Chain A
Amino acid sequence: MNKRPETEAELAELIAGRDAPLWIRGGGTAGVVPDGADVLKTSGLAGISLYEPGALTLVVKAGTPLAEVQGVLAAEGQRLAFEPADLRGVLEASGEPTIGAVAAMNVSGPRRIQAGACRDFMLGVRYVDGLGTIVKNGGRVMKNVTGYDLVKLMSGACGTLGVLTEVSMKVLPMPEAQGCVMVDGLAPDAAVHAMSAALGSPYDVTGAAHLPVGVDGAPATMVRVEGFGAQVDYRTGKLRDLLGRFGDVRVETDAERVTAGWRYVRDLEGLVGVEGDLWRISVKPSDGPAVLAGLNAVKAQMDWGGGLIWAVVPAGTDVRERMGVAGHATLVRGSGQPRFHPETPVNAQLAAGLRAKFDPKGMFNPGLMGAN
């Protein structure tokens, strides 16, 4: 059974009068909805409610396609700075990602280390809770500490606390230029040292990734800067000097090639079609190389200066058992293990308590998060 409400009020009524499980589906690209489940499609709640480029503010209905949002922003020379990934390739999914799903799953890309995650750009939400109540939190302004920040709580809750109907976001100008400084042939630990040096420099690095197997088959370490043309020239020059001690350094400032390179990292293009379970592992960057070495990965890449590992491992591998350090691992593609990393007993209890308050009937995406 599919439901596709066209208004927030219709959605609220539907939820109020129901107590059976309901799976929330944006574009259906994340592949989390089980076969045969009752599905709530958010695509009927679409459209841009407000966009003020001079105030860097966007208010948009949750079911709006991400591509539409990005198109509207690009027309004004702006963008979603947290760089949401498009994982359709690696998930072998079709469909159109929605802004609501990006918000609900806190989807962020390589720029997360510098600009922040999706949750850091979310200014406000409207949602319908598990009793059918329409709730708003936050707003449309950039600085707001009025009451509790339920915006952050909703971001990353994957719909388990409520159905997002509208989100407000801070947007940023697209930079005039971008450049990429590359070091070839590094082992993961040397790569993380190089990326730490770059990220610890004053040059405002907006991406730092390592591909143990790059496009041409050899290891590639990539550091990105963005800004005005002269600024990018200056900063790539400085970073070239800084990273010279790690190996041979190349600088790429062709916009198309730099964009393509970072899309390759962001969308996991190198992991498309690689057989096995896909994991997303967040650790302290300096722990990254050891974690990576212990995974027995078929193929993997590091982002966020080494702190984010994307790895395809043989099906059934217990990545969490192999980590051995603080952090968390999410099973993005595969089965047989919980999708989300188990929380400590105290935090799990707090999370369960919050779910019981926000969705007392336990309707939304049951079993997706937590131990319910």
Chain B
Amino acid sequence: MNTCCTEHARASAGLPAIEPGMPEPAGTGLSRRNFLLRSAGLGLAVYGAGKLAKLPAFETGVAHAQGAPQGTVLLNVFLDGGVDSLSVLAPVEDATYRRLRPRLALNDGRPFAEDPRLRWHPSVNALADLHAEGKVSVLPAVGYTGADQSHFTSRHFWEVGALDANLRTGWLGRVLDGVGAPDNPLQGVSLDGHLAPALATARNPVAAIAKPEEFGFWAPGAWGPADELAVPAFTQIGRSLQGSGDPAIAQAARAAAFAGTVRDALAPLGADGKPLYAPAAAYPQTADNFPKRLAGFAAMLAAGLPIRAASVRAPGTWDTHANQQETMPKNLQLTFDSLLAFQRDLEARGLADRVLTLVWSEFGRRAAENGSGTDHGAAGVGFLIGTRAAGRMIGEFPGVDKLDAGGNLRATSDFRGLYGALCGDWFGVDPAAVLPDARGLGKPVILK
């Protein structure tokens, strides 16, 4: 590969340039120079500059991206299963609603300032707080015309950003193909240990991480050069095969080619499962990994890692066909308490203006309950959270009096319009280059 050779030359010439005047990477306890030295130079220092030509310089892409001005970031939070929007923001006094939901209707809750008919579920007070601060844009009935009631089809549409069952790249993946770099896997990060389909790219690499403080590669019975050269070896093998015509080989090769880069970039955040970072806000204490993943992500941003998009699944399942009242409140509570902590963490670290959080689900649920739960519906609820978010409703609440033929809520905003606004106004890419249906869909105002 051509880039290999120029990278070798750069690496042997010395360490990556440090831009003067850049702030200290917050939360790492390291100066920027130290940080770059540690992340870019790990493994290289062992042998000194003389041997560098033999190592693939797999760190330079990340190091260079770290030196560049920091871009905006989108965190993509998926409520898997179809959250019941009529329980998150409920028209509590509506007679039709009460008739459709004899068991599940909400009785009370804090008022929603933008629509006097609606009240917040008592378990999402964290979100109500952020909304009161002007940091939440609510999409009370988001979806698309002709909603598909399959989890997997509808979720796929949202992930690929089009009503196209055969599209294989995610909408954020295509954003990253546009704004990203061919040697920076950290530009798109799945935080729950396996690749999120929305981040699937066609060209540029992305990464999946389970725990940022635990990403080592130890080879039993090898130490010294035998150990240190092992990661460069699988990196190089990966690079030599990542263009393979066999998709299985190419997938394995890409994973190998970038795992070492991720290891080096994460090294300052911890080792062997022990974090070297501390959150700047109080996250919920729970066995669930969701708040830990958000805290780790805030620390990764604070460390200056060149991230543009990240994805994570919210805790629990939202597919409440039965026993909705037993599972939904606690999942709502944990999800939005954690997101509030994350927002506070970003604010405390001075990162809040760079980050937007998108919360979405593949559909809403049927207006009429089915006993103790609700079946699949059409339009659902979405949120855009952040200090830069406009804080104004996108689309209105359509009411439960004019449901569609299937008894489901009608959409008053289209997720592809929202994506288009994020492409153009947040990432600075042409929506038409990312979204096949960009033309003809209204573009909501998403930023202040």
Q: A and B, one complex? A: no
Interface residues of B (CB under 8 A from A): none
Interface residues of chain A, those whose CB is within 8 Å of chain B, are none
